[in-house]
């Protein structure tokens, strides 16, 4: 027994020293497992709020997205066959007002809307705005589900977005991506451009559909995809607030109301004591237009609009068109090395 007791006691003593020196050798209790789980979860970061699934967002928004089928008139005598084209649309109001792209219904002699619940109803055109590529349609149907509007101005680059539409006519589909950029312009797709860029796929037939946030709120109307070689994952949507203004103006006035100054100008750079300044050089003034009445002449150099320096052509154009006709616009100009301040009363942009 003496020979057995001594090794056992020695082993227990070594084990006790190891446990004290190295706590990881201790057996795990239920409390230890809970602590490890808490630690593991804490490694996710306290600001993690993203959902694992976006099914709730889709189920909230999908009933508001419709498929649009149009019958296009024959192109010419040599091509007398009618054509069917595909697109998507978004229910904006419970009374049956929809938004889609102008190019989806352009030239259509008949428009058919397929609702989420399977009903098919004809649609009429209330009005269009080709300059931003939007159209307002009207359908007569009960129990419609208007989409909830989001806040594109608050959306951030990197936010998750979902595109809902009818790609290639296969039926309603959802693609997922992020906001890649905001305020995209200069693409020469429309006269007025202020796109949300996303890598969510917007395929043929999905134009006019909804770009929603992770909660099912409308952020934009899906409009276009770059199809150039090497441009995979570059799609664009018209911000929902701009689209909502088009709908309101068309239903209230019959057309979109935009501010107008009545000048033609070229964008350029000019040097001054502070360095290089971005400017608009006035090339012509519309006779009887707002700027002509205020006293501007060709050759004037505009370097500020309402106190804001000229930054780029599209931002300045949007700044002017967003002014309500009848409201004053202050222009800071240089004429023969002299700075002059003009107040121009914005007019209503002529229809094109």
Q: Establish if 5 belongs to a structural domain.
A: no
234 and 268 assigned to the same domain: no
- DSSP readout, 124-142? EEEEEETTTTEEEEEE--S
How many domains in the chain? 3
Final residue before a domain boundary, out of 139, 170, 188: 139
Is residue 271 one of the residues assigned to a domain?
Answer: yes
Query: Does 290 lie in the same domain as 210?
Result: no
Separation CA 161–CA 178 (nearest Å):
5
217 and 276, same domain (yes or no):
no
- What's the rounded Cα separation, in Å, for the pair 247 and 90? 12
- Segment 107-133, tens digit of pLDDT: 899 999 999 999 999 999 999 999 999
Instruction: Considering the candidates 129, 133, 213, 300, report the single residue annotated as catalytic.
Output: 133
191 in any annotated domain? yes
On whether both 135 and 159 belong to a single domain, the answer is no
Last residue of a domain, one of 197, 227, 250: 250
100 CB-near residues (< 8 Å, 6+ apart): 68, 87, 88, 89, 90, 134, 135, 137, 207, 208, 221
Residue 201 resides in a domain: yes
Q: Is 266 a catalytic residue?
A: no
Q: Do 215 and 271 lie in a common domain?
A: no
Decide if 302 contacts 267 (C-beta within 8 A). no
Residue-number span of the structural domain to which 344 is assigned: 259-348
**Cβ-contact 282, 265 below 8 angstroms:** yes
Selecting among 64, 88, 103, 332, the annotated active-site residue is: 103
Q: What is the CATH number of the domain that holds 176?
A: 2.40.10.10
Is 207 labeled as catalytic in the residue annotation? yes
In a domain, 4, yes or no: no
Reported pTM: 0.78
Cβ atoms of 79 and 43 closer than 8 Å: no
Q: Residue 173 catalytic? A: no
**223 in a domain, yes or no?**
yes
Query: What is the CATH number for 310?
Result: 2.30.42.10
Q: Which residues 6+ apart lie within 8 Å of 181 measured at CB?
A: 157, 196, 197
- Considering the candidates 64, 88, 207, 332, report the single residue annotated as catalytic: 207
Q: What is the pLDDT of residue 125?
A: 97
pLDDT at 316: 84
- 224 and 274 together in one domain: no
pLDDT mean values, one per 10 residues, the chain (352 residues): 49 51 51 42 50 89 96 67 83 97 93 95 96 96 96 95 91 94 84 90 91 96 79 87 96 93 88 72 93 93 91 84 92 90 92 72
173 plus 238 within the same structural domain? yes
Residue 126 lies in a domain: yes
Last residue of a domain, which of 139, 164, 183? 139
In a domain, 47, yes or no: no
């Amino acid at each position: 027994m003496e020979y057995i007791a001594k090794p056992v006691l020695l082993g227990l003593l070594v084990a006790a020293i190891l446990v004290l020196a190295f706590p990881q050798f201790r057996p795990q209790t239920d409390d230890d497992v809970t602590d490890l789980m808490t630690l593991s979860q804490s490694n996710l970061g306290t600001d993690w709020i993203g959902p694992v699934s976006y099914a709730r967002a889709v189920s909230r928004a999908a009933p508001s997205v419709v498929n649009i089928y149009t019958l296009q008139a024959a192109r010419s005598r040599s091509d007398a066959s009618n054509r069917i084209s595909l697109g998507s649309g978004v229910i904006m109001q419970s009374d049956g007002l929809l938004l889609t792209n102008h190019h989806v219904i352009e030239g259509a002699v008949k428009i058919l809307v397929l609702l989420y619940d399977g009903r098919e109803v004809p649609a009429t055109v209330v009005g269009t705005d080709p300059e931003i590529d939007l159209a307002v349609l009207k359908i007569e149907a009960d129990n419609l589900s208007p989409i909830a509007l989001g806040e594109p101005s608050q959306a951030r680059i990197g936010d998750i977005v979902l595109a809902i539409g009818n790609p290639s006519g296969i039926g309603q589909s959802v693609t997922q991506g992020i906001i890649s950029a905001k305020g995209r312009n200069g693409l020469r797709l429309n006269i007025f451009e202020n796109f949300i860029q996303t890598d969510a796929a917007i395929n043929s037939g999905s134009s006019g559909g909804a770009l929603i946030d992770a909660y099912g709120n409308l952020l934009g109307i899906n409009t276009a995809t770059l199809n150039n070689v090497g441009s995979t994952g570059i799609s664009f949507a018209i911000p929902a607030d701009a689209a909502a203004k088009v709908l309101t103006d068309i239903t209230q006035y019959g057309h979109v109301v935009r501010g107008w100054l009545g000048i033609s100008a070229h964008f350029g750079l000019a040097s001054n004591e502070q360095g290089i300044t971005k400017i608009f050089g006035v090339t012509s003034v519309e006779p009887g237009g707002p700027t002509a009445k205020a006293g501007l002449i060709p050759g004037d150099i505009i370097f500020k609009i309402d106190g804001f320096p000229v930054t780029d052509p599209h931002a300045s154009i949007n700044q002017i068109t967003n002014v309500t006709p009848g409201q004053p616009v202050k222009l800071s100009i240089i004429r023969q090395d002299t700075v002059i301040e003009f107040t121009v009363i914005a007019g209503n942009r002529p229809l094109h």
